[in-house]
Every structure is written in structure tokens, then in C-alpha cells.
Structure 1
Amino acid sequence: MTNQQFPENFLWGGATAANQLEGAYQTDGKGLSTSDLLLGGNVNTPRKTTRELVPDAFYPSHEAIDHFHRFKEDIALFAEMGFKLYRFSIAWTRIFPTGLETEPNEAGLAFYDQIIAELKRYNGWAARDMIAAYVRFAKVIINRYHQDVKYWLTFNEINMLTRPMGAYLAGGMYVDDSDRFISPDVDSEQLRLQALHHQFVASALVTKFAHELDASLKIGCMLAYRMLY
């Protein structure tokens, strides 16, 4: 057997469908879609579509997982999973509520504006707002455990970003806002070093906080180092 491997530029990711996760089925002027009239079911009760909304009946799409109100935390979970690609759908009835309008529903478009803006924000440590996000996280952890834990590392192998392969450790970064994911073969030194700078700033802010909270705490970073023959 030959050793089969995915190509370097293979796009790992995931996909969702608007009718399955958004919920908020009448928010901001959204019209009813076919999915909004599809009842729930179970092993004994087949699903069926009603011609009108039946009071107190269970329509799964009406709330779904409430992605409409939780998209920021959902996208954060996608990023945590290491997605390089996210395919999502746009609900037609958010943009043209009945399908017959000649002008789009601006409120519906604004929702997808926010989705796309949030997806673009996840550029790993190349995005400066990662500093505040990390400091917020670290403060919660140190506050909770500083009485029991006296030795802390803010970043593991922080020097790895000095090498192209280290881009993966920066949460995944994209080159010039394009769809090219940084890999050892597609590298942007400027972007990597910008990410490293943000990690240094975040580490300094967390260290300052830790020493002010508890002067006995020892805090620093870990370096990756190896000797080769």
C-alpha cells in the first residue's frame, strides 16, 4: 500500500445551513420559509409541513441553536477546532421576506455583515484584539488558582513563531486577508512576527497583573529548544 496523505493546501473545515442553526425565525423582518413550517417529529411521529403556523406546535427551526444571537461564541468554537474554511448559507427570507420584494431587507443583510466581520476577525495572534481576549482569559485563571499554583507559564514554546512552521501555533493566520492559509510553504514573516509581538505584549500584561495580585507568583514563558547531531 502506498502512504496516502492529504495535500498541503487541503481545506479542512465545516459547514452549516441557515435553517438548521440560526433560529430567530421572525427577527428583523425575516419572512417564513418552508423550513419554518416543518414540524418536529420522533420515532413514532413523522415530520410534516403545515400550511399555517399551528399554536404551541414544535417547529425546530424557530429557535434551533440560536446562532442568530450566539454567532460570536459559535465562531470562536469553530476557530478552536482549527477550521481553515467555514461554509455557511444565507437565509433567502432574511433578505427578501416574501421573495417578491424588489428591495432587500437591510436588517437581514446587516446580520450577515456581522457574521463575515466576525469570521475575518479570527486571524489568530496576528489580530491585536487577541491581546485583550487572552489577558481576560488569563486573569480569570490566575485569580482562581493563584493560592494553590505558584509557578505559571503564559506561553508554551513562544519562540516557535520565529519559524514558518510556528504559524500554526498562532491560531492560524491568513496572508493579506486572502484565503491562503499560512503553512511552511506559504509564509509571511511580517505576519508571524506581528503575531509574536502580540504574544509578548499579552504575556507582559498578564505578568504585571499576576505580580500585582500576588508577589509570590513566579511567571514566565517556555522556549522550544533541541540539540541535533
Structure 2
Amino acid sequence: MAKKKHVLKEDVEHDDSNTKNQVCRADFPPHFVFGVSTSSYQIEGGVNEGGRGKSIWDAFSHIEGKIIDGSNADVAVDHYHRYKEDIELISDLGFKAYRFSISWPRIFPDGLGTKVNEEGIAFYNNVIDALLEEGIQPFVTLYHWDLPLHLHESIGGWLNKQIVYYFAKFADTCFEHFGDRVKNWGTINEPLHIAVGGYDTGRSAPGRNHNSSIETYLAAHHMILAHAAAVSIYHSKYKDKQGGQIGLVVDCEWAEANSDKIEDQCAAQRRVEFQLGWFLHPLYFGDYPESMRDRLGDQLPQFTEEDKELLESSTDFIGLNQYTSRLVSHAKDSVEEGHFEKAQQVAKIVEWEDGEIIGEKAASEWLYIVPWGMRKVLNYISHTYNNPPIYIMENGME
């Protein structure tokens, strides 16, 4: 433990000394892309304009007590009307990439794909064209949590395998209309948080926590298949002609074992597999990690042979959202909220045994700045999944 800690402290000290020096663009390779990122529900507003249908977040945010301060995104920062100003600001700041998501209910108001909303298509065409005029690359996320409300109410949303078909139709429509200019696609942003927040703890839309031990993993299963279906369509119909790439965007808090004990080392490995392996193992190995199968048993759905064929080679890159890290030890009885967290049997800690904090604390209660944690996540992905291209899609502090 002491030796391990000494090595990590050296990393932190090295990184801290770098932050004292001024960083400029010339410090990075010419092809390195700096960008900013948003999601449709968080910024657009215009919820009842341009033919847009309702999303699960429209409904969820209006339920009393679900949002701490009672706010909603009916207007947000009014990007729907002020996108040109926003893009000018991005350009003025010197960023060369903008990652944004397309609102599914703005393209198909009921989610079913029976009739495309031309006003929605026009809006995103305008955004993309405005970006390109400023020399900014569009990085488009197809799904950043705003499921059409009708799909949730009519078929159960991500709990019904039919959602794979509807998502694929939505994705196909986006590729068709925007793919001549968009060359970087993400299918689903942070499926872990959609599954856990939406179908386990109930802290996110659609706010379900009735039967989380099953629903959490079923929703995630269908998101994995929906991702693969969208990639299959892109690869077969558009990639050669449009020349773009497509991937899945996952998130991970790096888990560092708090001691040299085997049980703590295994707990840290298990924690990472429950985060990254839950979604990346199926794409690269055709099934969930053994650590998940061992603890979840038949609560974890099975992939059919047809599913496994669909999953094979179903990502061109991995998008990574990485904010912080935790020290981890084995815990027979976890105090964490929700079935997903308890099943891992881990305790998450932010202090070393001598009381030193893992990293500088940021403004958010949960966020500690741990540069070596990001390095370890990147190395883990490279070593575990045969060195795929990786884009850091989200990182920073609040």
C-alpha cells in the first residue's frame, strides 16, 4: 500500500507542477482537437416549438420533488433560438469541435418514425451549417437521455426490445439527412447512468425504481443492442459514401484498490468491469464480464447468437467521459444506493489511510481532481480492448 501510494503521489505532484505553467495550443499535436459539449434537453428549450414532441425529461422535471430547485428545461439557455450566437461564442473561444445531441422527439415527435418532422431536420441542418461556416467540426450524439415520452408510455421505452428497431430508424434518418457533413457520431451517451438513474435509483427520467434488479439490466441490454443496430446501419449504408465514424460514449470513475489485499484488488477490478465492462465487453467479446454474471445471475439478460453477430465490430471508437476517481475496498454489505451499486460489494473512499485526500476537491460534492486516474482509465481501455481509438468526450470540473 505505501509503495503504491508513493507512486501515485509522484504522479499527482508531477501533474500539479504542470498546471502552474501556462498551457497553450502549441503544446499539443496539430491534429489534437479541443471542443465543447452539450446535450439537447439541457440547452435547447423550445420544447413546444418546431413540431417537437415531449420527452421523458419533460415529464420527469415537472413532477414535484424530482428536481431539487424545481427547475426545468422548457427554455434552458434558449439555444433553439440563439444557436447562432452560441456558435459564435464557441468560435471566439477558439474551439474547433462542438459535440451536441439531436433531440429524438424533435425528429420523430412520437418516437415511432412514422413521419419525420421537417422543422426538426431544418433546425439541425442550420446548426451544422453554422458550425461548418465557423470551421468547427460537429460531433453528434444521437441519444443523450431524452427518449420520446410516447415510446415510454406506449411500449415501456428501453424495457422493450422493440426500442432497438425504433432507435435504429431514428439513427438511419439522422445519417441520411446530416451524414454528408457530420463525420463523427456517438450513438448513446452514458448508458450506465440511463440504466441506473432511470431504472434503479429513480433519480433520473423516467424515474423507475419498482423492479430495479431486473429493469436496470434489461434497459442496458437493449441500449447495447440499439447501439449495435445503429452502427450496423451506418457501416452498411453510409460509411463508405460519407466517410465518417461511429462509436459508443461510456463513462468511468477510475477505481484504485485501497490496499494490496487480494479482496480489495479484486473489488477495484470488479468496479471497473461493472462500469466499462458492462457495455464494452459485449462489443468486443460478445458477452458481459464474468464478474457481472457471477453476481447477477439470471438478472443479466443473455445475448442470442444473432445478437452476438450484430455486436461484432460494432464500434469505430470509444468515447469516454471521465471526471474523477475513487479508492475502492471490498465491502460485503455495501451502503450504496440501488441494486447496481450494492451488487458490486465495494466501498468507495476518497481518503488514503493517512487521511490524505485522493485529489483536490472541486466545487461539486462528488468531484475530486485526479489526473492519474484518467491516465489509468485510458491505459485500461487500451490494454483490455485491443487499443481502440479513444475520444475524451467529457472532462473537467464544476
Larger Rg: 1
Question: How does the TM-score come out when normalised to structure 1?
Answer: 0.45
Give the structure with the larger strand fraction.
2
Question: Which structure has the higher relative contact order (CA within 8 Å, separation 6+)?
Answer: 1
Question: How does the TM-score come out when normalised to structure 2?
Answer: 0.26
